[in-house]
Chain A
Amino acid sequence: MSESPTTAETTATEAVDSGRYLYCLVDLAAGSEETVDIAGIEDEPVSLVTAQSAPVGALVHRREEPFDSTDLTKLRDWLLAHQQVVDAAGDRFGTPLPVRFDTIIEGDDGDVATWLDGHATQITDAFDDLSGCWEYRVTLSWDSAAFETEQQTLDPELSDIQRRIEQSGDGTRFLLEKQFDQRLRELRRQRETALAERLVDRLEPHSERLTERPVQSDAAASLGIELDSDAVTQVALLAPPAAESALGSTLDEITETPGVDVRFTGPWPPYTFAPQISENE
């Protein structure tokens, strides 16, 4: 049933005799389910492997090699299927520890259980840190057009350059226009910094943890694609669902500033706040 990845771009792919694709880790402290009924990537049946020494488990399916393709449709389907499994895990077990896409453990269920046992402290510590919180994300964007127009009269430096442009000849005019653009850019940047700082200040009181993220992915940037051209900053925060109302009200107030818009997404499994699990227990 599972489809082999295209081989054209997979010369570096390793395959093993037996492996388990890992979706997420789950906290079983509130009681365990022996079986789960979830379909995974490419409809592979997902199963729960539990540790012996601690109330934690892993959702896995059998997979011998990583998924890899440049086919957009296939990739989209794999990623969405992965996320649906993690979503279902969240519904049943509470906040999961989501694992990065395409993580495969070599071996069988027993090897996964051994790994869980060997890292039980790190894993239970991570669940304690999360304590029922979920990730939310806020992207703030700002249309600076009205601000720029306003600054041309409000900012003394810009007004001054404008006056000198009107009085100057072609050569000087070119240089002055450069200065004008530079000053405008600087004013815009200052305002963007202030908007970002204010967003963080207003959200922090309602968050367990908070981090600012780059607004554009590296891949999108390198391909010249702007995912969100007016975006000023993006914040990922960890909060309990009970905080949604306060977060929403805060964001409503923030959007009262002219030109400012906010996108508020979640609740997500806490990808941004998930730990690295090292070999040292």
Chain B
Amino acid sequence: MEPTRTDQHAVVELLDVLLDEGVIIQADIIVTVADIPLVGISLRAAIAGMAKMSEYGVDMSWSGA
């Protein structure tokens, strides 16, 4: 089998990772939302919502192939 990037699940999976992972910079010059967990929760809840959206056939198409 070959790896894919374009199916719905793959996109939702990526977006979840995008919120949580990646280079984390510790520096005073980083502008942050003062209470990070609030933002994190609202964004992550939205991702979970997107999973539902993709199940209902809402267009999650993305040209990154």
Contacts and interface: CB of A to CB of B under 8 A. Distances in A.
Interface of A: 9-10, 12-16, 19, 22, 24-25, 64-66, 68-70, 72, 75-76, 79-80, 82-84, 87, 97-107, 111, 115, 126, 136-137, 139, 217-220, 223, 225, 227-228, 244, 247-248, 251-252, 255, 262-268, 271-272, 274-279
A255 B1 CA distance: 10
Contacts of B2: 244, 248, 264
A267 B3 CA distance: 7
Contact of A99 (B16, B25, B41, B50): B25
Interface residues on B, range: 35 or more
Contact of A72 (B9, B16, B18, B53): B53
A251 B10 CA distance: 17
A103 B30 contact: yes
A252 B1 contact: yes
Nearest to A269: B22
Nearest to A101: B18
Nearest to B9: A263
Name A's interface SS. mixed
A129 B4 CA distance: 24
Given A99-B23, A115-B27, A262-B1, 19 more contacts: A9-B42, A14-B32, A66-B33, A80-B62, A98-B23, A99-B22, A99-B25, A100-B23, A105-B31, A217-B16, A219-B45, A220-B51, A251-B1, A263-B9, A264-B4, A265-B3, A265-B4, A274-B23, A275-B24
Nearest to A272: B21
Interface centre among A82, A218, A227, A252 (most CB of B within 10 A): A227
Contacts, number: 186
21 contacts: A22-B25, A25-B23, A70-B45, A72-B46, A76-B15, A76-B60, A79-B15, A98-B22, A99-B25, A101-B18, A102-B43, A219-B47, A220-B51, A244-B2, A248-B1, A252-B1, A262-B1, A265-B3, A271-B22, A274-B22, A274-B23
Contacts of B44: 217-219
B29 to A, nearest CB: 5
A24 B41 CA distance: 23
A98 B50 CA distance: 22
Contact of A265 (B13, B24, B25, B41): B13
Contacts of B29: 105-107, 111, 115
- 5 closest A-B pairs by beta carbon, nearest first, are A219-B44, A100-B22, A271-B21, A220-B48, A104-B31
Contacts of B3: 136, 244, 247-248, 264-267
Nearest to A268: B14
A97 B15 CA distance: 16
